[in-house]
């Protein structure tokens, strides 16, 4: 007759289950750590599209193609992958598109210290002809003979032939460091022909904006009178004046026409 009972006591069964369960738990837990590490590694490698800098546009080999020259960061293979055209639309005589490249977001600027120029073709649904090209929601490009040039923000794609036209004045005032929203209120044209321009500029017009519904406040600062000559592609300043008449400007430029300034009072 055996000295041991045929059935183990309940307590031993419970202990055995706990021991076996612990072994199973231990053996199934290890891969979870590996999975976590893999998941962390995957999160660190994130790819994103960024807009390329467009520096030039030229006609392509076919009537429906233009070639955009873009600048992208370089230094490592992951700095800029696959520059390509994205989201092409055609409406109102304008072909619009985004030109992007793919980069690894964890790369630092130090990892991509250089710049690389790449040509990216853009294909429209029909011949492009004289249509404007708008890239990356920036300034538009206009066909100028065998090449493309920028359309100016104020002059448009075809600058006015009249040098005294408002777009030329707007461009001039903007270059005088006047806020865009003050382009009209900060200037007064006192004389203009195709070669000479007189502007009274008050850059302090926004110092005391009126409250809603109240009359405009009085700006006590005097305007600056500035004289310009036509420089071929815009107005260039060459003299200023505090008094009326022509004495101050003709001392600098004797050829300035007196008819534009002889009846002017001093700037307000």
pLDDT in tens, 30-70: 444 455 444 444 556 788 899 999 999 999 999 999 999 99
- pLDDT for 221: 67
215 to 185, 188, 197, 203, 208: CA distances (angstroms): 15, 20, 31, 20, 11
pLDDT in tens, 177-200: 776 566 677 889 999 999 999 999
- pLDDT for 13: 40
User: Rounded to whole angstroms, how far apart are CA atoms 224 and 249?
Assistant: 13
Closest Cα to residue 222, out of 177, 267, 184, 173? 267
Which are the contacts of 65, defined by CB distance < 8 A and separation ≥ 6? 59, 121, 122, 123, 124, 128
In this structure, what DSSP letter does residue 110 have? G
The structure tokens listed for 78 are 């992951």
- pLDDT for 137: 85
Helix (H), strand (E) counts: the chain? 3, 13
Residues of the chain with pLDDT under 70: 1-44, 179-183, 205-221
Please tell me whether residue 142 adopts helix, strand or coil conformation.
strand
User: Rounded to whole angstroms, how far apart are CA atoms 85 and 118?
Assistant: 12
- pLDDT for 207: 55
In this structure, what DSSP letter does residue 243 have? S
Beta bridge mates, 227: 198, 239
Query: 0.75 exceeded by the pTM?
Result: no
Task: For the chain, give the number of residues.
Answer: 268
Q: Are strands 114-123 and 147-150 parallel, antiparallel or unpaired?
A: unpaired
138 to 57, 64, 96, 101: CA distances (angstroms): 13, 21, 10, 17
In the chain, where the domains are located: 48-150, 166-260
130 to 58, 60, 64, 66, 127: CA distances (angstroms): 12, 13, 11, 12, 9
User: Rounded to whole angstroms, how far apart are CA atoms 67 and 118?
Assistant: 10
Q: Are strands 94-104 and 132-135 parallel, antiparallel or unpaired?
A: parallel
User: Rounded to whole angstroms, how far apart are CA atoms 182 and 193?
Assistant: 24
């Amino acid at each position: 007759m055996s000295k041991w009972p045929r059935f183990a006591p309940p307590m031993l069964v419970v202990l055995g289950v706990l021991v076996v369960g612990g072994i199973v738990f231990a053996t199934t837990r290890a891969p979870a750590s590996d999975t976590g590490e893999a998941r962390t590694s995957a999160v660190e490698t994130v790819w994103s599209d960024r807009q390329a800098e467009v520096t030039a546009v030229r006609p392509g080999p076919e009537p429906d193609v233009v070639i955009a020259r873009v600048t992208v960061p370089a230094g490592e293979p992951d700095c800029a992958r696959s520059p390509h055209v994205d989201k092409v639309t055609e409406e109102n005589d304008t072909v619009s598109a985004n030109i992007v490249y793919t980069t690894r977001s964890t790369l630092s600027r130090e990892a991509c210290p250089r710049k690389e120029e790449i040509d990216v073709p853009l294909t429209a649904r029909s011949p492009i002809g004289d249509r404007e090209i708008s890239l990356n929601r920036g300034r538009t490009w206009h066909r100028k003979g065998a090449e493309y040039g920028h359309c100016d923000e104020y002059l448009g794609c075809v600058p006015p032939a009249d040098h005294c036209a408002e777009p030329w004045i707007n461009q001039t005032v903007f270059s005088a460091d006047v806020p865009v929203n003050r382009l009209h209120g900060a200037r007064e044209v006192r004389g203009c022909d195709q070669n000479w321009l007189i502007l009274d500029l008050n850059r302090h017009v926004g110092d005391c904006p009126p409250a809603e519904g109240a009359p405009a406040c009085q700006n006590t600062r005097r305007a600056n009178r500035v004289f310009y000559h036509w420089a071929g592609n815009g107005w260039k300043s060459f003299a200023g004046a505090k008094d009326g008449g022509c004495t101050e400007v003709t001392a600098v430029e004797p050829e300035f026409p007196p008819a534009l300034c002889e009846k002017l009072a001093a700037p307000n």
